[in-house]
């Protein structure tokens, strides 16, 4: 990518090549076929590290998950389309993401990371490279610091006017209670907001939980989108404790819910699920072909601008 398109241009180059990498769990063919045009809206690529080294030391085992392996994973699931999300260790350097999107030859879109210092030329280059949103993260370490490479929720408002200008939405990830503090204001920005991982809600709190109530309400009003990545909320192997939350979101606004596997399942190690099992679970929980088509095909096509 040229310097004009790289939000890290001008910054001191830093490169971290992991000493050891973790081979991600690969799926087998699901029992249930995905509908034509189906999209997995939440995955990540890492590497090859000799070509795309990390920009920050990773706080988790670095996956061996280059574009070629990711595309084989999508093909095995039977997913025609995919959305790649920039992982924090790459910071604001989009090179690995954009290279993977280009390898997808039209079947992929990206969610990048940028801070308010990004130029209009860089935002335009991201969009032209297939990026359709920017990710903001409020996950912090025990000392209260954002994970290296993350851009926090407090930067969304400053970027929002230019994000709208360049056709980019905001994707948000945080521990559940953080949304209570930030979402009411963010929802006033007239910017599409996509909530990662079912809002990170805690199933044991039940449906009367104030975070869940707020998220479901904003979803019902069409002010947010929700990713149904159940493996980050429910308890393996069947995730039944997340079923009520999943179904409530789908019922609240079936036109603004999305499905994602979250492959290659960072921080999960040996507990990582198989993406084919997640497909089969979603097939069962969604319950009918009309809803399956909305969640897997129509909704992502509309949000990410697939043909």
CATH number of the domain enclosing 192: 3.20.20.140
The predicted structure's pLDDT at residue 3: 34
Does 3 reside within a domain? no
Task: Count structural domains, the chain.
Answer: 1
Does 13 reside within a domain? no
Domain ranges, residue 142 = 36-304
Does 2 reside within a domain? no
Does 242 reside within a domain? yes
The predicted structure's pLDDT at residue 142: 84
Does 19 reside within a domain? no
Task: Cite the active site residues.
Answer: 262
Does 69 reside within a domain? yes
pLDDT digits (tens, 9 = 90+) for 18-31: 988 999 999 999 99
Question: Torsions phi, psi of 56, nearest 5?
Answer: -140, 150
Low-confidence ranges of the chain (pLDDT < 70): 1-13
Q: What is the DSSP string of the chain?
A: --GGG-TTTTSPP--B--SS-BPPPPP---SSPPPTT-EEEEE--B--TTTS-BSS--SSPPB-B-HHHHHHHHHHHT-SEEEEE--GGGTT--HHHHHHHHHTTTSEEEEE---TT--HHHHHHHHHTTEEEEEEE--B-TTSPBPTT---GGGHHHHHHHHHHTT-EEEEE--HHHHHHHHHHHTTSSS-EEEGGGGG--GGG-TT-HHHHHHHHHHHTTS-EEE--GGGTSPTTT-GGGHHHHHHHHHH-TTSEE----TT-TT-GGG---HHHHHHHHHHHH-SHHHHHIIIIIHHHHHHT--
Does 29 reside within a domain? no
Does 27 reside within a domain? no
The predicted structure's pLDDT at residue 6: 53
The predicted structure's pLDDT at residue 141: 82
């Amino acid at each position: 990518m040229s310097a004009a398109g790289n939000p890290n241009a001008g910054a001191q180059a830093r490169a971290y090549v992991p000493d050891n990498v973790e081979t991600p769990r690969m799926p087998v063919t699901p029992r249930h076929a995905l509908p034509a045009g189906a999209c997995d809206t939440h995955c990540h690529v890492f590497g090859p590290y000799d070509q795309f080294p990390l920009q920050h030391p990773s706080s988790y085992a670095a996956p061996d998950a280059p574009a070629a392996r990711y595309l084989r994973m999508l093909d095995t699931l039977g997913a025609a389309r995919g959305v790649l999300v920039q992982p924090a260790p790459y910071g604001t350097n989009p090179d690995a993401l954009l290279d993977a999107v280009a390898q997808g030859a039209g079947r992929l879109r990206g969610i990048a990371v940028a801070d308010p210092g990004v130029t209009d030329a860089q935002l335009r280059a991201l969009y032209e490279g297939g990026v359709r949103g920017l990710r903001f993260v409020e996950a912090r370490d025990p000392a209260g610091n954002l994970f290296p490479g993350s851009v926090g929720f407090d930067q969304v408002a400053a970027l929002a006017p230019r994000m709208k200008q360049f056709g980019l939405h905001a994707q948000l990830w945080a521990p559940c209670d953080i949304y209570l503090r930030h979402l009411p204001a963010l929802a006033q920005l007239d910017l599409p907001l996509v909530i990662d991982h079912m809002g990170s809600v805690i199933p044991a709190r039940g449906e009367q939980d104030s975070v869940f109530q707020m998220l479901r309400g904003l979803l019902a009003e069409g002010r947010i989108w929700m990713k149904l990545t159940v493996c980050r909320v429910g308890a393996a192997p069947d995730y039944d404790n997340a079923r009520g939350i999943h179904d409530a979101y789908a019922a609240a606004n079936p036109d603004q819910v999305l499905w994602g596997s979250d492959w290659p399942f960072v921080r999960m190690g040996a507990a990582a699920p198989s993406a084919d099992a997640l497909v089969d679970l979603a097939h069962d929980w969604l319950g009918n072909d009309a809803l399956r088509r909305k969640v897997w095909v129509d909704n992502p096509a509309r949000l990410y601008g697939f043909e």
